[in-house]
Amino acid sequence: MNAIKTTVAAILVPGVVCLVIPAWILSATHGLAGWTFGVLPLLAIPLTLTGFYLILEVCVSFVREGRGTPIPIDPPKHFVRSGWYRFVRNPMYLGAILILTAEVIATGSIWIFLFGAFMLLALHLFAVLIEEPQLVRRFGQSYADYMKDVPRWIPRFPWNTA
């Protein structure tokens, strides 16, 4: 059942934030003329693929290891610190921001850029003010230690630690 709920959540939430709203913004402001062509939009492809991969990997981790979903009303029952969570505390949010960044590169839309900046601010405030305090209450010292070891937004890989 968690797999079904996670699949629905992974399609609806990132789908609306990363695809539906930007498509609406683009159609309302530029129409098809908003899409740019040439070499620059090709840079958007790896960002998009990485973003979708991060979202998918988090969903799978939440179901398999966390025994829950990315839905706040049915969160993982176990603390997940594997996969991309070893490198960054918010890989799903980071995936969405990468996709929005790719859309800005591909379209050159200032409106999608502003929407992406708003989403980054909203996700940051949500993580800092609501999500992280709840996770500390739920998982205790293990999550507090995790917050000290793993950055919130910019991944820290084993080769770039000092």
Per domain, the residue ranges of the chain are 2-160
**Which CATH class, in words, describes the domain spanning 2-160?**
mainly alpha
Q: CA–CA distance from 118 to each of 17, 37, 58, 61, 113 (Å)?
A: 11, 26, 23, 27, 9
User: What's the CA gap between 143 and 145, in Å, rounded?
Assistant: 5
Average pLDDT across the chain, whole number:
83
Chain-centroid distance, C-alpha 102:
13
| Residue 61 banded pLDDT, cuts 50, 70, 90 | confident
In terms of Cα–Cα distance, which of 148, 122, 2 is closest to 68?
2
Residue 41 has pLDDT above 80, yes or no: no
pLDDT computed for residue 106 by the predictor: 85
Rounded Cα gap, residues 111 and 84, in angstroms? 30
Structure-model confidence comparison of residues 150 and 4, the more confident one: 150
Q: Which of 15-24, 43-52, 102-111 has the lowest mean pLDDT?
A: 15-24
How far is Cα 153 from Cα 103, in angstroms, rounded to an integer? 19
Full-model pTM: 0.83
From residue 52, give the alpha-carbon distance in Å to each of 49, 56, 97, 129, 158: 5, 6, 10, 26, 23
Write the pLDDT tens digit of every residue in 22-35. 777 777 776 555 55
Determine the Cα–Cα distance for residues 52 and 92; give it in Å rounded to an integer: 9
Can you tell me the distance from the alpha carbon of 57 to that of 5, in angstroms, rounded to the nearest whole number? 15
Q: What is the mean pLDDT of residues 59-88?
A: 83
